[in-house]
Amino acid sequence: MKKTNLILLIMITSKLFGQNEALEALKAFPEAKSNEKQVYIQVPEMNNEDNYKIEVFIGKNEMVDCNHYFMMGEVKEINLEGWGYTYYKVESNGQKGGTLMGCMDDKKVEKFITIEPKTFGYNSRLPLVFYVPNDFIVKYKIYSAGPLKEAETLKKQMRIGGIVYNELKNYFVKNNAKLPISKNKITNQKQFDAVFGAAAHMGDGKPSTIDFNKEFVVPIVLKETNLETEIIVKGVAMGSMGDVVVNYVVKRGKKMSFTIKPFHAIIIDKSNSGKVILKEEK
């Protein structure tokens, strides 16, 4: 996935909303106060924009130790009265929180520490406008989803050894997800939330619900690529030793101007407790 960083005022020109028009529209928004700055994101026109989303990271570069840190604060949505526009105001005093692991040394490195990232629908016609403290930075990523698919009807007669599964829908892999997934399965909500974020605003319905008391998730996550990529699960079968064998194929298309991290995930009943094996069909 191509990382597109936005520092201060950077805009990508689109066909439907050129740079001059965007700057003109921004006059409708209030001026930034002395302790803040106005930052905006303008994305290019895409075909089928419902299949894309923008994940925004807001924070500061800080020198930190081995612990995991986050910036304290919130992003408030504000309606611009009389215009029908929306903008976002960041409220933070710059304080950060983090884990309390004991570090082996006092070494510190510079990292981008952020408020919890937010995802937005993709709209090339209007910029996303933020008001952030003067010393904050706004960065963003563009993600793409696969095409809308129709669910298959469960056949009464299943092939021998076949395992029933459901597709995981309307989630994305988080930027800080630890990969690969241990044992190719996710068995609890905490582990799931560390890997996936919900994308409820996308055009094909609500995110799937998972009952981790009865089910587990098998994710297939590929390396970052700039090629259109689709992962198709061909079936799930019970192996001779009780293994859960997930057969899938990868279809790759044309080159894109940005990169993505392709993934596909399925939900399986926990009664299938064997080792999960991912098997790509060539």
Task: Determine the pLDDT at residue 247.
Answer: 92
Task: Determine the pLDDT at residue 125.
Answer: 84
> Which residues on adjacent β-strands are paired with residue 218?
266
**How far, CA to CA in Å, does 178 sit from each of 65, 71, 167, 175, 215?**
19, 20, 22, 9, 21
Calpha distance 58→40 (Å, rounded)? 12
The H-or-E segment that residue 23 falls in is helix 19-25
- Taken in order 240, 243, 244, 250, the sign of the CA dihedral is negative
Task: Determine the pLDDT at residue 241.
Answer: 81
Rounded to two decimals, the pTM is 0.48
Task: Determine the pLDDT at residue 205.
Answer: 62
Predicted confidence (pLDDT) per residue in 9-67, tens digit: 333 333 434 555 656 677 888 999 999 999 999 888 888 888 889 999 999 999 999 88
Distance of CA 254 to the CA centre of its chain: 22
Q: ∠268-272-273 over CA atoms, to 5°?
A: 115
Task: Determine the pLDDT at residue 137.
Answer: 96
* CA terminus-to-terminus distance, the chain: 24
Tokens of 156: 């009464």
Q: ∠94-89-95 over CA atoms, to 5°?
A: 10
Task: Determine the pLDDT at residue 157.
Answer: 39
Task: Determine the pLDDT at residue 23.
Answer: 63
Domain boundaries, the chain: 3-144, 165-280
DSSP state for residue 19 in the 8-state scheme: H
pLDDT < 50 regions, the chain: 1-17, 155-160, 201-203
Arch. (CATH architecture) of 3-144: Sandwich (2.60)
